[in-house]
Structure 1
Amino acid sequence: MTDITVPATRSGGPKPTDGHRTPIPFHRLLSVETRKLFDTRSSKIMVVIMILLAVASIIARGVVDGPRLHVLIGTAGVGFGTLLPVIGILTVTGEWSHRTALTTFALEPRRGRVLAAKCLPPLITAVAASLFAMVVAVPVTAVVAGVQDVPATWEVAPLALLGWTAVGVLVVAQGLAVGMLLLNAPAAIVICLSAPMLWSVVSRLGATGEVLAGWFDLGATTDPLMAGDMTGGDAVRLAVSVTFWIVVPMAAGVLRVIRREVN
Structure 2
Amino acid sequence: MTREPEPGTGRIPFGRLLRAETRKLFDTRSSMIMTGTLAVLAIALVAGRAVVLTGPPKLFTLAGSAAIALGILLPVLAVLTVTAEWSHRTALTTFALEPRRARVLVAKCLPALGASVVACLLALVAAVPATAVAAAVRDVDASWHVAPQTVLGWIAVMLLMTAQGLAMGLLLLNAPAAIVICLAGTALWSFVAQLGGAGETLAAWLDLNATTSPLMGGAWTWEAAARLATSVLAWIVIPGGLGVLRVVRKDLS
TM-score normalized by the length of structure 2: 0.96
Which protein shows a greater Rg? 1
Report the equivalent of 1:23: 11
Counterpart Cα distance in 2 of 1:24 and 1:84: 29
Does residue 136 (structure 1) correspond to residue 100 (structure 2)? The answer is no
Does residue 32 (structure 1) correspond to residue 20 (structure 2)? The answer is yes
- Following superposition, the deviation at residue 56 of structure 1 comes to 1.1
- Judged with a 3 Å threshold, the aligned counterparts in structure 2 of structure 1 residues 24 and 251 are, in CA distance, closer, same or farther, namely same
Does residue 225 (structure 1) correspond to residue 206 (structure 2)? The answer is no
Matches within 5 A, 1:129-208: 129-208=119-198
- Following superposition, the deviation at residue 180 of structure 1 comes to 0.3
2:36 is matched with which residue: 25, 48, 56?
Answer: 48
Q: Which AA in structure 1 matches 2:19?
A: S
2:51 is matched with which residue: 48, 52, 63?
Answer: 63
Counterpart Cα distance in 2 of 1:17 and 1:251: 33
Is the CA contact 2:102–2:244 (under 8 Å) kept in the aligned structure 1?
yes
Report the equivalent of 1:242: 232
The alignment-based identity, stated in percent, is 59
- Following superposition, the deviation at residue 20 of structure 1 comes to 7.5
1:103 is matched with which residue: 93, 98, 103?
Answer: 93
- Following superposition, the deviation at residue 228 of structure 1 comes to 2.9
Give structure 1 regions of 4+ aligned residues with deviation exceeding 4 angstroms: 15-20
Is the CA contact 2:7–2:97 (under 8 Å) kept in the aligned structure 1?
no
Q: Secondary structure at the match of 1:249?
A: helix
- Judged with a 3 Å threshold, the aligned counterparts in structure 2 of structure 1 residues 222 and 110 are, in CA distance, closer, same or farther, namely same
- Following superposition, the deviation at residue 18 of structure 1 comes to 5.9
- Judged with a 3 Å threshold, the aligned counterparts in structure 2 of structure 1 residues 18 and 178 are, in CA distance, closer, same or farther, namely closer
Counterpart Cα distance in 2 of 1:18 and 1:26: 19
- Following superposition, the deviation at residue 72 of structure 1 comes to 0.8
Q: Secondary structure at the match of 1:156?
A: coil
TM-score normalized by the length of structure 1: 0.92
Q: Which AA in structure 2 matches 1:259?
A: R
Counterpart Cα distance in 2 of 1:16 and 1:203: 63
Q: Secondary structure at the match of 1:109?
A: coil
Report the equivalent of 1:4: none
85-94 or 43-52: bigger deviation:
43-52
Is the CA contact 2:8–2:99 (under 8 Å) kept in the aligned structure 1?
no
- Following superposition, the deviation at residue 63 of structure 1 comes to 1.9
Q: Which AA in structure 1 matches 2:225?
A: A
- Following superposition, the deviation at residue 249 of structure 1 comes to 0.3
What are structure 2's unaligned runs of at least 5 residues?
none
What are structure 1's unaligned runs of at least 5 residues?
1-7, 10-14
Number of residue pairs matched?
A: 251
For the aligned residues, what is the CA RMSD?
1.4
